[in-house]
Amino acid sequence: MLSDDYSCMTNRVSSIRLFILGTLASSGPLHGHQIRHQAQSDRTELWTDIKVGSVYGALKRLTSEDLVREVRTEKVGNRPERTIYEITPEGRRALAAIHQTALRELDRHHDPFDLALAQARTVPEEDLEHVVADRLAALKVSLVSMHHQAERADPYVNEAERMVMQHLIERAEAEVRWHTELAARLPKIAADFRDGIGGPVALSGPDAKGSPA
């Protein structure tokens, strides 16, 4: 049975953990290079936040948590000796929990930019315009790159992967639309800041320390 601490951890799904555990569960024992090759073959860096270079570090963490275990080491020709890993029964239970969390729970990630924007009353309007323009330009470049990557990968992906890439593209398009609208509303935002609309409430007296129970 999963510990309470691990059950809480699954609320923050780690893509690299999900990938490694899922790969070992479906493919059987593998060494780190084979797992890296699988990530490259699946083009996971195109449509997840997985970095192929993080596989070995993640394997060590999963081993320390008894979610995977070292089966043996092997050496082929002049290649370095490689450690073979397999998923443990605890790892399979963890995989099931992570997978269900990833499938069922909505990602309600809060972008720190939103809070910074709401607290930007001391930032000169011109500086804010530059910040938003730079973000919008970077988002547009990223969106073009995503479209090109999706087009190149399309002949080699399955329908699930195709939909995942489309999901990423549409989220990026939404960010471009939102930043475009934000740029248009910056004069109103600056005016509200100058007029003190929605400003912090000044607390004094007993209320500053909280109301008595």
> Taking 70 as the threshold, does the pLDDT of residue 160 lie above it?
yes
Query: How many secondary structure helices (H) and strands (E) does the chain include?
Result: 9, 3
Segment 182-203 mean pLDDT: 88
Q: What is the mean pLDDT of residues 4-14?
A: 45
DSSP one-letter code for 49: S
**Using CA atoms, how far apart are residues 121 and 194, in angstroms rounded to an integer?**
8
Contacts of 15 (CB under 8 A, 6+ apart): 44, 48, 49, 50
pLDDT of residue 8: 38
CA distance 39 to 23: 9
- State whether CATH 1.10.3720.10 applies to domain 4-104: no
Q: Is pLDDT of 201 > 90?
A: no
The answer to whether the CB of 52 falls within 8 A of the CB of 94 is: no
pLDDT higher at 2 or 174:
174
Say if CB 18 and CB 50 are below 8 A apart: no
Point out the least confidently predicted range of 1-10, 82-91, 158-167: 1-10
- pLDDT, one tens digit per residue, over 98-111 is 999 988 888 777 88
Other Cβ atoms closer than 10 A to 158: 9
Domain boundaries, the chain: 4-104, 112-195
Under the banding of pLDDT at 50, 70 and 90, the label for residue 20 is very high
Q: What contacts 24+ positions apart, CB below 8 Å, involve 56-61?
A: 56/32, 58/16, 58/17, 58/20, 59/20, 59/32, 59/35, 59/85
Q: What is the pLDDT of residue 204?
A: 62
Rounded (5°) CA angle 89-92-94: 110
Rounded to an integer, the average pLDDT of 153-160 is: 89
Asked which of 84-88, 107-111, 137-141 is least confident by mean pLDDT, the reply is 107-111
More confident residue, 132 or 52: 132
**Per-residue pLDDT, 6:** 39
Angle at alpha carbon of residue 96, lines to 91 and 101, rounded to 5°: 125
Determine the Cα–Cα distance for residues 165 and 145; give it in Å rounded to an integer.
12
E-assigned strand segments in the chain: 30-31, 68-74, 82-87
Query: What's the mean pLDDT when you consider all of the chain?
Result: 86
| Tens digits of residue pLDDT in 39-76 | 877 777 766 778 878 889 999 999 999 999 999 998 77
> Higher-confidence residue: 123 or 80?
123
d(CA 62, CA 160): 27
